[in-house]
Amino acid sequence: METYKLAKRACYLTGVTMSISANLSPLLFLTFRDMYNLSYTLLGFLVVINYFTQLLIDLIFTFFTKYFNIHKAVKATPLVVFVGLILYAVLPTIFPDMAFLWIVIGTVIFSVAAGLGEVLMSPVIAAIPSENPESEMSKLHSMYAWGVVGVVLLSTLFLLVFGSRNWMYLALLWSIVPFTAFLMFLKAKLPPMNNFESGQKETKILNKGIVLCVLCIFFGGAAECTMSQWASGFIEKAIGIPKAYGDAVGVALFAALLGTGRILYSKYGKNIINILLFGMIGASICYLMASLSLSPVIGVIACALTGVFVSMLWPGTLIYVEEKFENVGVAVYALMAAGGDMGASVAPQLLGFVSDKFSLTSFALNISQTLNISAEQVGMRAGLLIAGLFPITGVLCILYMKNHFKKHQKTRLS
């Protein structure tokens, strides 16, 4: 609809903005490790901070939607990302002895905005009149994926040309994107959005079907975000491919396939529950291949192929919720985002923790000597193997969810 064209474009650009806030730090993990002597556990903690902050925002909007001016929150979202990126870049440079603290502060600020983006952009797109709302939702989430491609390729090129010690200038350059989205929102007209009235949310949305969908997006978020957050470090350290090549071939291809899967669904997709099941099974196989294969080629291909399998796990669950429940409002989108963010925070942190701890064991040392690889590489492979349990469990969740909804008709939430 022409009236909301600028609003739709601003939402799409905000999707790119969210890809910056979610993926810039992982690309800088090894830079931070070398410059500030940070452990993998602390690096994984940055991911936890990112997604746990988003989780808090999700929960706040789940139960307290009525206290917010939704349109103002939508328009402010990219501005908050802009402020967070500026602080993220500037403060560690000014106070290098406390660099990790300032990185955390910047992360918290732009993660607040990322949480707002997850909660608010989907219902904005859903509220804009369309002949094919599923297609529009898939396009929105594909913008995040294509944003990851741009972030990976352009960031890799920047670090290759200017050196990793100039990472702060890279963050400043990326801050231009959310500022542009903010300017677009200032001029855009937003559609009316479906919010719950006071007192309805707690009793209406917490039923078994919604809980199953939250679990599904939890496992989907874990499968997608663990690979997107750790693929760069895994390919470089565990597989042994130089960062520039690993990021360009593995990480960027992962993101490109992520976006391709969402675009293909927007054009040809149907029967979303089977797509979810197919994605979880494929992601499980890819995690096993990447963690267990000693072939660098197979390892990189497995990391990249994960992108196409996880592409619809997050947006596909949202589509499934819209299909199975009537009158889906901001509170439900917020609850679903909370489930996805929980998976996206727990799984990557678990990978970092397992990598650190397992690499110090005598068992890891024995394996490293047998396979002629370092204990650190063994640890990272063990971490990725454990992370593979999330999509494997997700397969069981989807099978149970599919059976549950066969027995129940569409549910009215308000």
Q: What is the DSSP string of 136-197?
A: HHHHHHHHHHHHHHHHHHHHHHHHHHH-GGGHHHHHHHHTHHHHHHHHHHHHPPPPP---PP
Q: At residue 134, does pLDDT exceed 70?
A: yes
379/360 Cα distance (integer angstroms): 8
pLDDT tens, position by position, 319-370: 898 888 876 777 788 888 889 988 988 898 899 889 989 988 999 899 988 8
Query: Rounded mean pLDDT of 281-286?
Result: 97
Choose the weakest-confidence range: 58-72, 247-261, 396-410. 58-72
**How many CB atoms neighbour CB 97 within 10 A?**
8
**At residue 200, what are phi and psi to the nearest 5 degrees?**
-95, -30
- Within its chain, how far is the Cα of 209 from the centroid? 23
pLDDT score at 103: 93
R_g over Cα of the chain = 20
Cβ neighbours of residue 174 under 8 Å, at least 6 residues apart? 20, 24, 85, 151, 155
Residue with tokens 């400043």: 172
Closest CA to 110 of 167, 153, 49, 68: 49
Q: Could you tell me the pTM of the whole model? A: 0.76
pLDDT score at 409: 62
CATH of the domain at 12: 1.20.1250.20
**How many CB atoms neighbour CB 66 within 10 A?**
15
Query: Rounded mean pLDDT of 247-259?
Result: 83
pLDDT score at 206: 61
Residues of the chain with pLDDT > 70: what percent? 95
Q: How confident is the model at residue 194 (pLDDT cuts 50, 70, 90)?
A: low
Range of the domain at 191: 2-412
Choose the weakest-confidence range: 154-168, 173-187, 224-238. 224-238
Per DSSP, the three-state class of 326 is strand
Query: Rounded mean pLDDT of 10-39?
Result: 87
142 or 182: which leads in pLDDT: 182
How many domains is the chain partitioned into structurally? 1
Dihedral through CA 163, CA 167, CA 169, CA 171, nearest 10?
Answer: 140
